[in-house]
Copies of this chain bind each other. A is one copy, B any other.
């Protein structure tokens, strides 16, 4: 059906390059009453950890100009419950399952990777970039040495599944982290996670988020995301999944031109759960209209001379 949009990412065949972004699509099932999940290229589920995590106190979200802040705190059911309760239901749909995961310590990362590698999932996505938890998370994503260690050690215990490493934009030089992840064995990079931000309620004089700071997502951050994908594309040889502020097919084309091999749609799912499906339709029309045989043909084709 979607020949124009079929892509192969690290050996996995996606019917289209539109993937629901982690944390914005629950365990996928939440959306099954609203849209046909079978039409999505893939779903990256909410970040999974070894044990169940309850997340941060409320309030956890706030809207900002053309964006939103969140500090959910990686609330999730834990890997065991995920595999037992969620995965079988999710597997009924014909879409690729990427499991976003994280740990508080190096050992936790390794342990979760080991478990998930044996399960019926298509890819793992290592989150080393969540700004909303005190331990782990972003520390692994802002120190090149720690990035190397966590990627290398997880990859070592994985036998069958491709490993995507999701980078933090809150760094001076994202190229270094892309390079390090590649050297440590990452099969692909996803970029970007949220920018660290803060908003204060001037009436209560309190931060809008209980966690004080939170992650900024949505159209506001798209220029930063496109820039980072572009920088990564010039630096590394593994595929890049572009993320950040994608609202329509034009944004997807922009990320492709910058160097992305696929994209994830995040905050847009909240704005309207039908957006990813509309993007798929529109992207197909775009390819047809512009005589693009396959969307991959425009990868990295931005003209900068």
Chain B residues whose C-beta falls within 8 Å of the C-beta of A15 in the assembled complex? none
Report yes or no: B197 in contact with A227, Cβ–Cβ below 8 A: yes
Report yes or no: B205 in contact with A67, Cβ–Cβ below 8 A: no
Report yes or no: A304 in contact with B207, Cβ–Cβ below 8 A: yes
Stretch at the interface among A47-55, A179-187, A215-223: A215-223
Residue A170, interface by CB 8 Å: yes
Report yes or no: A212 in contact with B304, Cβ–Cβ below 8 A: yes
Contact status of A213 and B198, CB under 8 A, knowing A65-B222, A172-B142, A303-B206: no
Residue A37, interface by CB 8 Å: no
Name the distance in Å between A29's Cβ and chain B's nearest Cβ.
30
Chain B residues whose C-beta falls within 8 Å of the C-beta of A301 in the assembled complex? 205
Residue A254, interface by CB 8 Å: yes
Interface centre among A67, A197, A200, A258 (most CB of B within 10 A): A200
Residue A202, interface by CB 8 Å: yes
Report yes or no: A223 in contact with B302, Cβ–Cβ below 8 A: no
Complex interface residues of chain A between 206 and 238 (CB less than 8 A to chain B)? 206-207, 212-213, 216, 218-224, 226-227, 230
The docked-state distance in angstroms from the alpha carbon of A70 to that of B102 is 36
**Residue in B closest to A253 when the chains form the complex, CB atoms:** B202
Report yes or no: A227 in contact with B196, Cβ–Cβ below 8 A: yes
Report yes or no: B303 in contact with A205, Cβ–Cβ below 8 A: yes
**Residue in B closest to A68 when the chains form the complex, CB atoms:** B223
A contacts with B, residue count (CB < 8 A): 45
Which listed residue, B198, B230, B253, B303, touches A230 by the CB 8 Å rule? B198
The docked-state distance in angstroms from the alpha carbon of A200 to that of B199 is 29
Name the distance in Å between A288's Cβ and chain B's nearest Cβ.
15
Chain B residues whose C-beta falls within 8 Å of the C-beta of A170 in the assembled complex? 172
Residue A18, interface by CB 8 Å: no
Complex interface residues of chain A between 16 and 75 (CB less than 8 A to chain B)? 64-67, 69
Residue A195, interface by CB 8 Å: yes
Report yes or no: A302 in contact with B207, Cβ–Cβ below 8 A: yes
Chain B residues whose C-beta falls within 8 Å of the C-beta of A245 in the assembled complex? 65
**Residue in B closest to A173 when the chains form the complex, CB atoms:** B142
Residue A250, interface by CB 8 Å: yes
Report yes or no: B65 in contact with A205, Cβ–Cβ below 8 A: no
Which listed residue, B173, B216, B223, B254, touches A224 by the CB 8 Å rule? B216
The docked-state distance in angstroms from the alpha carbon of A142 to that of B173 is 9
Name the distance in Å between A213's Cβ and chain B's nearest Cβ.
5
Residue A77, interface by CB 8 Å: no
Contact status of A206 and B254, CB under 8 A, knowing A197-B224, A197-B227, A216-B224: no
Q: Would you list the 3 A-B pairs with minimal beta carbon distance, nearest first?
A: A197-B223, A65-B219, A66-B66
**Complex A-B: 24 CB contacts under 8 Å:** A64-B219, A66-B67, A66-B220, A142-B172, A142-B173, A170-B172, A195-B223, A195-B224, A197-B226, A198-B223, A198-B258, A199-B226, A200-B226, A200-B254, A200-B257, A200-B258, A202-B257, A205-B302, A206-B304, A207-B302, A212-B304, A213-B227, A216-B223, A220-B220
